Amino acid sequence: MIVLALDVYERERALRIAEDVREYISMIKVNWPLILGSGIGIIRELKERTGLPMIADLKLADIPNTNRLVAKKVFEAGADYIIVHGFVGRDSVRAIMELGEIIMVVEMSHPGAEEFIQPVADKLIEIANEIEPFGVIAPGTRPERVRYIRKMLKKGIKIFTPGIGAQGGSARKALEAGADYIIVGRRIYGAEDPRRAAEELYKEVRAWSSG
């Protein structure tokens, strides 16, 4: 299943792309570029136009009280899930979970993730197993790590893998390794024809899932 990472600034462009690719994706992820470019109201607007669940990717990493204050506004704005960092500790993560569903970062997809996050991934998996978020983030650029995280993670917790396409990760390999959702940005919104790019990816993913 495909999550569109809609990292554009402009409201009109975001709405147009979302509507164009709607039938091929399962959720939309909104990150700082779109929120800063178009305002927080874009979450509800996208949700109403597409009918899809919305992920607010703010990667919250603050003390419990500040996490709670921010998350309250973002859930009120229509987000169904908020992405949160686990390295700040259980209390900060739980503060957001009390208000709504979360997806927690266990390991990131960029090269620098090997410096600090990867060495503590086991501890982050432990927190995830204890608090049971809706999902976790694992690196689509490192299928062997996705496989490991799947093995260690409690059944039922979904794995989301960014890093597919522009960062070099393969959708098929991430799914084979145990990902439930692939997160894809530039490969879709940066394509000359986003609808065609989403359709191609959808067919690739579906062909793999059914075969």
| Residue 118 in contact with ligand O7E, rule: CB under 6 A | no
Q: How far apart are CA 173 and CA 176, in angstroms?
A: 5
| Residue 183 in contact with ligand O7E, rule: CB under 6 A | yes
Q: Nearest approach, Cβ of 206 to ligand O7E (angstroms)?
A: 19
62 is catalytic: yes
DSSP 119: G
Q: Among positive and negative, which fits the CA dihedral 51, 57, 58, 59?
A: positive
Q: Which of 11-19, 88-96, 103-111, 148-156 is the region at the interface with ligand O7E (rule: CB under 6 A)?
A: 103-111
**Among the listed residues 71, 74, 102, 105, the single contact to ligand O7E using CB under 6 A:** 105
CA-CA-CA-CA dihedral for 28, 30, 34, 40, to nearest 10: 110
Q: How far apart are CA 177 and CA 116, in angstroms?
A: 23
Q: Is 62 annotated as a binding residue?
A: yes
Determine contact, residues 102/82, Cβ cutoff 8 Å. Answer: yes
Spatial CA neighbour of 134 closest among 158, 108, 99, 100: 158
| Residue 93 in contact with ligand O7E, rule: CB under 6 A | no
> Could you give the C-alpha distances from 185 to 20, 64, 109, 114, in angstroms and in order?
14, 30, 13, 22
Q: Is 209 annotated as a binding residue?
A: no
Q: Which of residues 19-48 bind ligand O7E (CB under 6 A)?
A: 31
**Among the listed residues 2, 5, 34, 96, the single contact to ligand O7E using CB under 6 A:** 5
- Residue ranges for the binding site for substrate? 7, 29, 57-66, 109, 162-172, 185-186
Annotated catalytic residues are 57, 59, 62
- Rule CB under 6 A: which residues touch ligand O7E? 5, 7, 31, 57, 59, 83, 105, 108-109, 137, 139, 162-163, 165-167, 183-187
